[in-house]
């Protein structure tokens, strides 16, 4: 295996880390909508930090290694349309995921501080805002994967 093959393998591994974190968060969003007590939500929020390093490292490494691959490959250039699309989708996904994370972090702070009532925390977990933001993040990730697989205009 040469340099390009190693970089490609690590790039794909980074994408798998992002996918794993998105699946974890999807499960937490789904389960969070079914919570009925404040104690249940606290257990839920103890699991959530596992995804943070996966998403952060995965997103960062996927971008970095993707750029390295584009520079190293003779058949691709960093300014190819499909690579620019991938970078734009990566940025949009990061923005949507960041907004989703802030939404649920605010709910977590409300649950742990005791400032919000149990009903308020539960209603925010059941509100469509967080779920829709997470769904948007997943859709952007899937579009990014399709771009990587089919390389339009390559």
Given this model, what pLDDT does residue 43 score?
86
Q: What is the pLDDT of residues 59-77, one digit of tens each?
A: 999 999 999 999 999 898 9
Report pLDDT digits (tens) over 7-26: 999 999 999 999 999 999 99
Which of 33, 26, 27, 10 has the alpha carbon at shortest distance from 141?
26
* Residue 31, pLDDT score: 94
Residue 143's pLDDT band (boundaries 50, 70, 90)?
very high
What was the pLDDT predicted at 140? 98
Report pTM. Answer: 0.93
pLDDT exceeds cutoff 80 at 116: no
Task: Please say if the pLDDT value at position 96 is more than 90.
Answer: yes
Nearest Cα neighbor of 7 from 70, 50, 87 is 70
- What percentage of the chain's residues is helix, strand, coil (to nearest 5)? 85, 0, 15
């Amino acid at each position: 295996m040469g340099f390009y093959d190693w970089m490609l393998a690590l790039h794909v591994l980074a994408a798998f880390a992002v996918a794993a974190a998105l699946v974890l968060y999807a499960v937490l969003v789904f389960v969070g909508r079914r919570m009925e007590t404040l104690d249940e939500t606290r257990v839920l929020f103890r699991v959530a930090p596992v995804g943070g390093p996966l998403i952060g490292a995965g997103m960062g490494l996927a971008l970095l290694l993707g750029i390295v691959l584009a520079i190293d490959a003779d058949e691709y250039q960093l300014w190819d349309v499909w690579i620019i699309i991938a970078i734009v989708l990566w940025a949009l996904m990061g923005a949507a995921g960041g907004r989703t994370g802030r939404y649920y972090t605010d709910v977590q702070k409300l649950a742990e501080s005791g400032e919000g009532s149990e009903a308020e925390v539960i209603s925010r977990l059941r509100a469509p805002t967080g779920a829709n933001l997470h769904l948007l993040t997943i859709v952007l990730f899937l579009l990014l994967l399709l771009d990587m697989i089919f390389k339009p205009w390559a």
